[in-house]
Amino acid sequence: MAAVILEARGLTKRFGGLTAVDGVDFDLNRGEIHALIGPNGAGKTTFVSLLCGRIEPTSGTIRFESRDITGMPAHARVRLGIAYTFQITSIFPRLTAFGNVELAAQRLGAAELAQRTEAALERVGLGPEARDRAGDLSYGHQRLVEIAMGLALEPRLLILDEPTQGLANAEIERFKDVVRALVPETTILLIEHNMDLVMSLAERITVLNFGAKLAEGTPDEIRANPAVQAAYLGG
């Protein structure tokens, strides 16, 4: 049985009368690529924000490597090894690619910043572009810079929120190669609308709908699930 790196139990978030996340149980296995999918408004962003510590749950618990992190703020979770990249690129365009990644690593007060920064850029294939201004890079390369920023934190868990949004097909293929190379050293939680990407990359998939867990399983199991087809896949 695979070791669980992160688990949520009964995770719930209410905003006034709206229940955005409704009693979700969730296990993330160490060293896997796990996708989180669902229609717009399904609660994916709120759920991930709970895992990252950007918002507090109304009820429920979150454990990371067997440690209760439910009340822990986001910056403390980063120090434990949870890194999150945003749905929209959050780089500093006037800085070089190197400068962006180095700035991210400084959040941990990391020693040997230059070596850590160079290693992160090499892992995403951007070694040659390290000294280029981030704002001058293609959009696909900017997204890879952001992934390198996450990797510079040496995370045990890297959460990627719609990382291929706006990417061309060739850039998506490169992204897939990058992500596959990160596991099993890094566990990946992927929030994504591109179903071709999800089905080819994820080992397990969790489907949210109206804030609740609709289904979970392998890509084949999710593809064949009638409830998922009705709610999301259009089958």
Average pLDDT on 84-113 reads 81
Tell whether 161 and 46 lie within a shared domain. Answer: yes
φ, ψ of residue 78 in degrees (nearest 5): -60, -45
Tell whether 190 and 227 lie within a shared domain. Answer: yes
Residue 190 pLDDT = 96
Q: In this predicted model, what pLDDT tens digit does every residue of 2-54 receive, in sequence order?
A: 799 999 999 999 999 999 999 999 999 999 999 999 988 899 999 999 999 99
Tell whether 48 and 92 lie within a shared domain. Answer: no
CA proximity to 52, closest of 64, 42, 41: 64
Tell whether 208 and 97 lie within a shared domain. Answer: no
Residue 104 pLDDT = 85
174 part of a folded domain:
no
206 part of a folded domain:
yes
Q: Is 54 exposed, middle or buried (0-12, 13-18, 19+ CB in 10 A)?
A: middle
Using CA atoms, how far residue 200 sits from 34, 67, 179, in Å, is 11, 32, 12
Tell whether 70 and 41 lie within a shared domain. Answer: yes
Tell whether 68 and 163 lie within a shared domain. Answer: yes
Residue 101 pLDDT = 93
Query: Domain range spanning residue 128?
Result: 82-154
176 part of a folded domain:
no
pLDDT tier at 234, thresholds 50, 70, 90: low
175 part of a folded domain:
no
Q: In this predicted model, what pLDDT tens digit does every residue of 124-159 receive, in sequence order?
A: 889 999 999 999 998 889 989 998 998 988 899 999
41 part of a folded domain:
yes
Tell whether 74 and 163 lie within a shared domain. Answer: yes
Tell whether 8 and 50 lie within a shared domain. Answer: yes
Tell whether 138 and 212 lie within a shared domain. Answer: no
- The CA distance from 130 to 97, in Å, is 5
Domain count, the chain: 2
Q: What percent of the chain has pLDDT over 90?
A: 67
CATH number at residue 225: 3.40.50.300
More confident residue, 167 or 86: 167
| Continuous segment of H or E residues that includes residue 5 | strand 4-15
More confident residue, 93 or 171: 93
Tell whether 161 and 65 lie within a shared domain. Answer: yes
Tell whether 71 and 163 lie within a shared domain. Answer: yes
137 part of a folded domain:
yes
- Beta-carbon contacts of 160 under 8 Å, excluding residues fewer than 6 positions away, are 85, 147, 150, 179, 188, 189, 190, 191, 192
134 part of a folded domain:
yes
Q: What percent of the chain has pLDDT over 70?
A: 94
Pairing between β-strand 204-209 and β-strand 212-217 as defined by DSSP bridges: antiparallel
Q: Which two tokens stand for residue 21?
A: 């996340």
172 part of a folded domain:
no
Tell whether 41 and 75 lie within a shared domain. Answer: yes
